[in-house]
Structure 1
């Protein structure tokens, strides 16, 4: 009788604990996801507060690091942090991530100085925030997997990943609201959540796995992987920036050598992992079909959809919203609001398909999700530049539902397929595939857009400026400027023409010409044909990649749970 009572008590404690684990990790992912996107909208206010022009040559580099530094640091540390957590304890290092993230948020709020020095200090604190996010992302999935049985993980993953997708869109809106009040609030908003989450995690979370302290850290593997991935991601990022007289930086020696050396280091990493006794990541896990196909389909889906949000924001901010009467300054906030249907679609399908995949497996739902993505991308190609919002809303819902159908079942299938002792490193590797795919997607989308604009925009812009009353010489100079400047201005909520035309040229124009060129209609109508031809090509490519991802997802086979469940 005593044993029965004790068993019932343990069962109730276990049932209660899993919801504590899910709630806390969801809070952590929500906080990290909000912060990954919150500065997208608030960058103009941050740079004004720090007295730096983000559209200058030096300012553009700082802006790039503010945007991408967080993601690059997080992506390169995920696998290493996951493996270290398997050795020293997932909960312990998850707690450390919460604390580091909170400390970095406080430091960002109190960033001293201004100008280049102040921005550089802020970038360092932002990178530190990325380190904290790395601990959160690499351990949250593993902690959930430890806490829930294999028949409940899909539902738990669906709820958890709502926070990831929701946080990215909430960050867009919250950044716009807080930046209008005080740009420092953009960083302060994380502090109360971080303090609460840190204390809650320390008090309530318990180690469900048994840390294996007999394992040694594979320093050589960690260093080659982190260095290789960092160089590759940075090179790809700088490749889409102007270099010298070129509209993009693929001729930049740093980009060329960064890609070559980065790839070589990753090849060396694979060689090391097959040779060392205690590798950072057990590459033999790729022999498990559910694991290999799950990660392949995840990577392909990230390549197909990683840059989608950015491209839709450019479309909304640069064309659609100004044509509908919104000022350029207000477009960042409204772009986030108008993209909410995508989040709603994910909210509906994420937990539902995650729960169903616990019973029926991930194959049907993940494959169906990628098929929906194909439909969504093809539908996007049919829209005109100045579309009716009803059709756009439906497409966003389709894309959001596709994301929800794919994400939770696929993540659950990956985590179910590996031994319990490898869950931390597996969670890190899964997140690395996702982040690397998103970085590659941004490069792909942006390269297509810049190439298209570089070819077709100059003559269109020149004709439009001359017709509006600008002298031919000045119009030719502006039309020859790298289109990146206009895109960044649009993205940051500046009037693109106002940022491209110098004050002397602007002052020489008649009031009628000035009003026309700086008005809401001129830039959107001028840029629309070039932008739409590039976007349609990008959407077709994403549709093809999504179709390949659907095939990879289907090849995963039936529901599979590793024999070493650790339950």
Structure 2
């Protein structure tokens, strides 16, 4: 593959990743507008939850299908599903339609991210892969900031363009990917699809995510619904593992986990999602509820994290390609991330913006050093025929951990908030006139907090208590997240310091004869 073809393909893959990662963040700031237009306040959280569940559940399937039938048809299918669902979501006339089409959009999005990593791994060696995949990390950083800002702006114009904007970008990516990949042959093997494994895996993931999403909010953690979902997830997982030991072409080849590096990297990805990835979700909440900024403004305030992530993701990728090793980037990145999350436990109502921006910069620097080397570690150790499944396993573990961690940390924060409000709100209400106090008869969240605007206009004694309760709750969240992140330090220290395969790039000069993708074998 010529360098021009590689760069064109790489740009298209970055665009597909941007579409999928952007849709995880762009909808949040526009939800109040969407809910008001479609009159669906009771089900508004499902607009986000449906996409998350569908994305997480479908990720492992795409990896295996691409190993069997090739990258081009599978990634094109994912893009088409994503674009069709985006168009339908923009045309939605009620909340039920929007939720269903967001779920369909998630089915496409589940393949975009993992397959982008996989395709790059097909055309460049692990040694050279770091400097290319470093830019993928930059895409995540950009989407974390651009999503809320773009969502807020488009909601003021017409919220339907949040979905329509995907169409021209997706068509451009689809054309470029198709034109490049159809010129080059990638190994495929026509064998039976593991339908039974898919029938166990997908509902197992759905049951688990529903349990952690509903637990502590829609239902009590000890309710029959939540416990039943956990039990169903456990039974289906056990059945899935049993099926995978007998399947001709398992969705998740268990032989990959016999490699200690792969198994350890999978655990690290899961822990990363639970602690670090989910902890970051709550940073904008501090800016909005405690400092009173709008969702769009809080997105802009995340720029220092994006800058640090882009800088170290790209630069560390080039250094890894030069050195041919990745372990100490993982160790250092996990240390810096743990330090960044620990710094956020020091946030107060009056913390200056420059200081919180510094904390964000530290966190972004650590994430940029950590995320891509972990993917390289997993890709470096698996066999060529398992490359798609191995890559998707990393994304699946991280997404699953993020979903679980977000729900668990949310429960931790809610419990702390309720405790703080119950203890301090009565004293604040005593300082109000009887007419003012009449509106605050309950001490739970729904009575006093609906949005940053509501909090900002509360009577001062109540506002101070609410902001302090949020601060204390978020401090506890970041303390728990930092403690989990510290576990990754120990785990990464056990990673072997292996040399990345491929001392030379697998991309030939455009004038060279017989340009082709060079297959690699596992050491």
The alignment's TM-score, normalised by the length of structure 2, stands at 0.91
Could you tell me which of 179, 189, 192 is aligned with 1:212? 189
- Where do 1:49-64 residues align within 5 Å? 49-52=37-40, 54=41, 59=42, 62-64=43-45
**1:383: Cα distance to partner?**
2.6
**1:120: Cα distance to partner?**
0.2
Q: In structure 2, what is the Cα distance between the partners aligned to 1:558 and 1:307? A: 28
CA contact under 8 A between 1:146 and 1:208: conserved in structure 2? Answer: no
Could you tell me which of 244, 250, 254 is aligned with 2:225? 254
- Where do 1:510-521 residues align within 5 Å? 518=458, 521=460
CA contact under 8 A between 1:449 and 1:535: conserved in structure 2? Answer: yes
**1:289: Cα distance to partner?**
2.3
Q: In structure 2, what is the Cα distance between the partners aligned to 1:522 and 1:438? A: 36
CA contact under 8 A between 2:428 and 2:462: conserved in structure 1? Answer: no
Which residue does the alignment assign to 1:81?
A: 62
Q: In structure 2, what is the Cα distance between the partners aligned to 1:169 and 1:528? A: 24
Q: In structure 2, what is the Cα distance between the partners aligned to 1:222 and 1:434? A: 19
Could you tell me which of 33, 39, 44 is aligned with 1:45? 33
CA contact under 8 A between 1:235 and 1:255: conserved in structure 2? Answer: yes
**1:394: Cα distance to partner?**
0.9
**1:485: Cα distance to partner?**
6.7
CA contact under 8 A between 1:20 and 1:205: conserved in structure 2? Answer: no
Q: In structure 2, what is the Cα distance between the partners aligned to 1:170 and 1:309? A: 15
Which residue does the alignment assign to 1:501?
A: none
Which residue does the alignment assign to 1:71?
A: 52
SS at match of 1:306: helix
Q: In structure 2, what is the Cα distance between the partners aligned to 1:485 and 1:293? A: 45
**1:405: Cα distance to partner?**
0.3
The alignment's TM-score, normalised by the length of structure 1, stands at 0.84
- Where do 1:49-448 residues align within 5 Å? 49-52=37-40, 54=41, 59=42, 62-112=43-93, 118-206=94-182, 208-213=185-190, 215-243=191-219, 249-320=220-291, 322=292, 326=293, 331-358=294-321, 359-448=323-412
Q: In structure 1, what is the Cα distance between the partners aligned to 2:448 and 2:53? A: 25
CA contact under 8 A between 2:29 and 2:296: conserved in structure 1? Answer: yes
Which residue does the alignment assign to 1:115?
A: none
Q: In structure 2, what is the Cα distance between the partners aligned to 1:485 and 1:195? A: 46
**1:133: Cα distance to partner?**
0.6
Question: C-alpha deviations, 1:519-544, integer Å up to 9, x for none?
Answer: 6x555412233223332222222222
**1:346: Cα distance to partner?**
0.3
Which residue does the alignment assign to 1:537?
A: 476
| Distance verdict in 2 for CA 1:381–1:84, change over 3 Å | same
Which residue does the alignment assign to 1:460?
A: 424
**1:234: Cα distance to partner?**
1.0
Q: In structure 2, what is the Cα distance between the partners aligned to 1:229 and 1:265? A: 9
**1:226: Cα distance to partner?**
0.9
**1:407: Cα distance to partner?**
0.7
| Distance verdict in 2 for CA 1:435–1:522, change over 3 Å | farther
CA contact under 8 A between 1:209 and 1:421: conserved in structure 2? Answer: no
SS at match of 2:92: coil
CA RMSD of aligned residues (A): 2.1
Q: In structure 2, what is the Cα distance between the partners aligned to 1:285 and 1:298? A: 15
Q: In structure 2, what is the Cα distance between the partners aligned to 1:18 and 1:202? A: 13
CA contact under 8 A between 1:298 and 1:549: conserved in structure 2? Answer: no
**1:466: Cα distance to partner?**
3.5
Question: C-alpha deviations, 1:467-520, integer Å up to 9, x for none?
Answer: 2224598456332x3x26756x23xx55259xxxxxxxxxxxxxxxxxxx636x
Q: In structure 2, what is the Cα distance between the partners aligned to 1:89 and 1:454? A: 52
| Distance verdict in 2 for CA 1:173–1:476, change over 3 Å | closer
**1:561: Cα distance to partner?**
4.7
Question: C-alpha deviations, 1:406-433, integer Å up to 9, x for none?
Answer: 0111111211111111111112211110
**1:259: Cα distance to partner?**
1.2
Q: In structure 1, what is the Cα distance between the partners aligned to 2:18 and 2:437? A: 51
Q: In structure 1, what is the Cα distance between the partners aligned to 2:299 and 2:462? A: 21
Q: In structure 1, what is the Cα distance between the partners aligned to 2:70 and 2:447? A: 46
**1:278: Cα distance to partner?**
2.7
Deviates more, 1:140-149 or 1:557-566: 557-566
Q: In structure 2, what is the Cα distance between the partners aligned to 1:559 and 1:271? A: 32
Question: C-alpha deviations, 1:345-394, integer Å up to 9, x for none?
Answer: 00000011122222241110011000001111221122323201111111
Deviates more, 1:349-358 or 1:399-408: 349-358
Figure out how many residues of one structure are paired with residues of the other and give that number: 504
Task: In structure 2, list runs of 5 or more residues that go unmatched.
Answer: 503-518
CA contact under 8 A between 1:145 and 1:153: conserved in structure 2? Answer: yes
Which residue does the alignment assign to 2:509?
A: none
CA contact under 8 A between 2:130 and 2:373: conserved in structure 1? Answer: yes
| Distance verdict in 2 for CA 1:518–1:383, change over 3 Å | closer
Q: In structure 2, what is the Cα distance between the partners aligned to 1:230 and 1:470? A: 48
**1:66: Cα distance to partner?**
0.5
Q: In structure 2, what is the Cα distance between the partners aligned to 1:107 and 1:485? A: 36
| Distance verdict in 2 for CA 1:560–1:296, change over 3 Å | farther
Which residue does the alignment assign to 2:512?
A: none
Question: C-alpha deviations, 1:248-288, integer Å up to 9, x for none?
Answer: x3133221111121122112212221233332211121121
